[in-house]
A and B are shown apart, each in its own frame.
Chain A
């Protein structure tokens, strides 16, 4: 179980304090899928980066399986079982796809094992396994490999920041099947098909948590409110 208590995050911008997240408290259940949605700049990615430890909150506490991880560095959170797939994958010179899979799984994988992870995200593994994870790969290829790394990590909680970004919608339908209920998935997304796969949906607006309930209720609420103007990407949600 992952619990956020009164999480706030502010930055100083041109001598003014700008609040990015404001007093967020919530519980993410094990073995479930939670989608976080909201318009651009609502604080979705910031919230997930705070969970991973990439950003430190200005205020509040984070508990993972009742352990206070608020001040824990990224690698220790990763060892506890929290994993993160970036919206924009980070590339490297001289580090191969297999190197990264080995690092993610903390073991030397056989080529066959490593290929399995890539196959699950729909790419022909043998063509990629020994390639450098660098900018010679297309954005879509990088993104699929990023998702494969998250799967290889075998954590208890995987955070995906806009997993559909850069992947064509036709193949993303099949790809979305990787989000199962074998662990806690936290997915930042605007995509209706992903929101519908979720057990719960959290809606953020201007850094505040405005709704957090079962997916059915939240989707109904969004439809009733006709909040096209309020929630970015609502066209996609509908």
Chain B
């Protein structure tokens, strides 16, 4: 399939792709499926009752990747897709999702992703969001629901690269015995962007573990609201960390919450928001970087 320039540009940014990759893939553009390809270990089916796909990762999948990028480039289109992932017992998979919006008007994408991880399944989930174009009203509202069976592991790396005028990211997870969930979130906002994040993780099973790290940079007059709630219902470990760098007249609200409803739950949270520490800039300047170069390096590292 030949890609137009905007699609190529967006795919490169959100999925590091220069063309439609080989292997399991579902490429959706402007609300319509463009490419849908299954493999022996990863089967993709279109939903019959609503917009979206079902993806079945078989137990035989050991390290294969699945790409499911979405692009919206039609002005005024608000695309909605329900994607359900069924990861069978013992399967190991990397799923690269992401959405790129190009618009000179209002448009957006709401992706509702539900993960069903079987026993001892291992998922590496990468999701990037980017909006470009002159339109004011580019919206992305990703919802991620994660159901983790015994011994399953999931690493979720989500990045809002920039340009998204409004986003409301909702993540809910429930973990059974020995399940492990690691979430790394990075958000960059500028101008008058508004980005909301809301995590709720229930550590239901014995020895379940969750670690949420959110790092954000807010520029201009943008606004970010970070909420998280880890609920410990068993002998379990949960930690949430929210760090934000404020530039210009931006604003970040951080509301981390931990709720232990079992006396063997071990939960913690930390939050740090502020400008770039002056001493960090000074240190890099003593190495020969200008003030601007130092700020850029600090932000790049922070969001790495």
Footprint of B on A, CB under 8 Å?
52, 54, 73-75, 78-79, 83-84, 86, 90, 92-95, 99-100, 103-104, 106, 149, 153
B-chain residues with CB within 8 Å of residue A84 when the two chains form the complex = 286
Residue of B277, B280, B283 contacting most chain A CB atoms (<10 Å): B283
A106 CA / B302 CA spacing, docked (Å): 21
**Segment from B43-51, B106-114, B253-261, B288-296 that makes contact with A:** B288-296
Task: Given A94-B302, A95-B298, check contact A103 B284 (CB 8 Å).
Answer: yes
Please name the residue on chain A nearest to B298 by beta carbon.
Answer: A92
- For the complex, is B303 an interface residue (Cβ under 8 Å from A)? yes
Would you call B288 and A78 a contact (CB within 8 A)?
yes
Residue of B215, B288, B297 contacting most chain A CB atoms (<10 Å): B288
A-chain residues with CB within 8 Å of residue B277 when the two chains form the complex = 90
Among the listed A74, A92, A106, A149, which residue makes an inter-chain contact with B280, where contact means beta carbons less than 8 Å apart? A92
Among the listed A52, A99, A106, which residue makes an inter-chain contact with B286, where contact means beta carbons less than 8 Å apart? A52
- For the complex, is B1 an interface residue (Cβ under 8 Å from A)? no
Within 8 A of A (CB), among B246-304: 277, 279-280, 282-291, 294, 297-298, 300-304
A208 CA / B93 CA spacing, docked (Å): 68
Would you call A78 and B287 a contact (CB within 8 A)?
yes
A-chain residues with CB within 8 Å of residue B291 when the two chains form the complex = 73, 75
Among the listed B280, B282, B287, B304, which residue makes an inter-chain contact with A153, where contact means beta carbons less than 8 Å apart? B287
Would you call A78 and B304 a contact (CB within 8 A)?
no
Would you call A74 and B301 a contact (CB within 8 A)?
no
A219 CA / B138 CA spacing, docked (Å): 71
A100 CA / B289 CA spacing, docked (Å): 11
Can you offer 14 A-B residue contacts whose CB atoms are under 8 A? A75-B288, A75-B289, A75-B291, A78-B285, A78-B287, A90-B280, A90-B282, A93-B301, A94-B302, A95-B301, A103-B287, A104-B287, A104-B288, A153-B287
A-chain residues with CB within 8 Å of residue B288 when the two chains form the complex = 75, 78-79, 103-104, 106, 153
The minimal Cβ–Cβ distance linking A114 to chain B, given in whole angstroms, is: 14
Footprint of A on B, CB under 8 Å?
215, 243, 277, 279-280, 282-291, 294, 297-298, 300-304
B-chain residues with CB within 8 Å of residue A95 when the two chains form the complex = 297-298, 301
A79 CA / B279 CA spacing, docked (Å): 19
Would you call A75 and B283 a contact (CB within 8 A)?
no
The minimal Cβ–Cβ distance linking B185 to chain A, given in whole angstroms, is: 14
Would you call A94 and B279 a contact (CB within 8 A)?
no
A-chain residues with CB within 8 Å of residue B286 when the two chains form the complex = 52, 54, 74-75, 78, 83-84
8 smallest A-B Cβ distances: which pairs? Answer: A94-B301, A95-B301, A74-B285, A90-B283, A78-B288, A94-B304, A75-B285, A84-B286
B-chain residues with CB within 8 Å of residue A74 when the two chains form the complex = 282, 285-286
Please name the residue on chain B nearest to A75 by beta carbon.
Answer: B285
A-chain residues with CB within 8 Å of residue B294 when the two chains form the complex = 75
Among the listed A54, A73, A75, A99, which residue makes an inter-chain contact with B301, where contact means beta carbons less than 8 Å apart? A99
A-chain residues with CB within 8 Å of residue B283 when the two chains form the complex = 86, 90
B-chain residues with CB within 8 Å of residue A100 when the two chains form the complex = 287
A100 CA / B284 CA spacing, docked (Å): 8
B-chain residues with CB within 8 Å of residue A83 when the two chains form the complex = 286-287
Would you call A54 and B282 a contact (CB within 8 A)?
yes
Task: Given A90-B279, A95-B298, A103-B297, check contact A149 B303 (CB 8 Å).
Answer: no
A-chain residues with CB within 8 Å of residue B297 when the two chains form the complex = 95, 99, 103
Would you call A149 and B287 a contact (CB within 8 A)?
yes
A-chain residues with CB within 8 Å of residue B303 when the two chains form the complex = 94
Given pairs A94-B300, A94-B304, A103-B287, 18 additional interface contacts (CB within 8 A): A74-B286, A79-B288, A83-B286, A84-B286, A90-B277, A92-B280, A92-B298, A93-B215, A94-B215, A94-B302, A94-B303, A95-B297, A99-B297, A100-B287, A103-B284, A103-B297, A104-B288, A149-B287
A95 CA / B297 CA spacing, docked (Å): 8
A235 CA / B95 CA spacing, docked (Å): 63
The minimal Cβ–Cβ distance linking A89 to chain B, given in whole angstroms, is: 8
The minimal Cβ–Cβ distance linking B48 to chain A, given in whole angstroms, is: 45
Please name the residue on chain B nearest to A49 by beta carbon.
Answer: B282
B-chain residues with CB within 8 Å of residue A90 when the two chains form the complex = 277, 279-280, 282-283
B-chain residues with CB within 8 Å of residue A92 when the two chains form the complex = 280, 298, 301-302
